[in-house]
Amino acid sequence: MADKSTFGFDPDKMMEFFKQNDFTRAFTDAKLPNFDTEALFAAQKKNMDALVEANKAAAAGYQDLFKKQMAIFEETISEAQKQIQDMELKVDSKTAAAQGEVAKAAFEKAIANMKDLADTAQKANTEAYEIVSARVKESVDELRSLADQLKTRK
């Protein structure tokens, strides 16, 4: 344990000081001259509301993405089972060519599905970004307005 006499700071006394004093009461009726604190708090509430909306948009997009992934997985499994059942045990050039075409079609479909999933994820992220970006622009304008009001009151 550190020697308290070495330093002028006593963490135990500091903790006791903060426990005994409720500093939140000091801000309940705080009024800054020439400053509209209610407008600032309203702007911050709008910021939080925008973040909530952005999260909702992103969550909805990712739910859609998850549903598409599940549908693709189920379809892929179903097609694979069908291919296995239809597969002939003999291997000749005609069968090999047909199986090659099936594999090529499956690969192309998988690429298309991956592109669709990527587009869905990008759409969800874009929607969330647009909500936050619009709110940031509004917030900057609100803060500028508050600053202008403060300048004109002086």
pLDDT at position 87 = 65
Query: Considering the domain boundaries, does residue 12 fall inside one?
Result: no
Q: Is the pLDDT of residue 82 over 70?
A: yes
Query: Considering the domain boundaries, does residue 57 fall inside one?
Result: yes
Which of 8-22, 54-68, 92-106: highest mean pLDDT? Answer: 54-68
pLDDT at position 74 = 85
What average pLDDT score do residues 69-89 get?
A: 76
Confidence class of residue 1 from pLDDT cuts 50, 70 and 90? very low
Longest dimension (CA), the chain: 93
Query: Considering the domain boundaries, does residue 133 fall inside one?
Result: yes
**Residue 72, CA distances (Å) to 61, 110, 112 in order:** 16, 9, 11
Query: Considering the domain boundaries, does residue 6 fall inside one?
Result: no
Q: Which residue has the higher pLDDT, 84 or 143?
A: 143
Mean pLDDT of the chain: 76
Domain of residue 129: give its range: 36-153
pLDDT at position 51 = 82
Query: Considering the domain boundaries, does residue 78 fall inside one?
Result: yes
The predicted-structure confidence for 98-146, as pLDDT tens digits, reads as follows: 777 877 888 888 888 888 888 888 888 888 888 888 888 888 888 888 7
Query: Considering the domain boundaries, does residue 22 fall inside one?
Result: no
Query: Considering the domain boundaries, does residue 23 fall inside one?
Result: no
Counting the structural domains of the chain, the total is 1
pLDDT at position 56 = 83
Q: Is the pLDDT of residue 5 over 60?
A: no
The single residue listed with the structure tokens 């079609």 is 105
Q: Which residue has the higher pLDDT, 10 or 101?
A: 101
Query: Considering the domain boundaries, does residue 130 fall inside one?
Result: yes
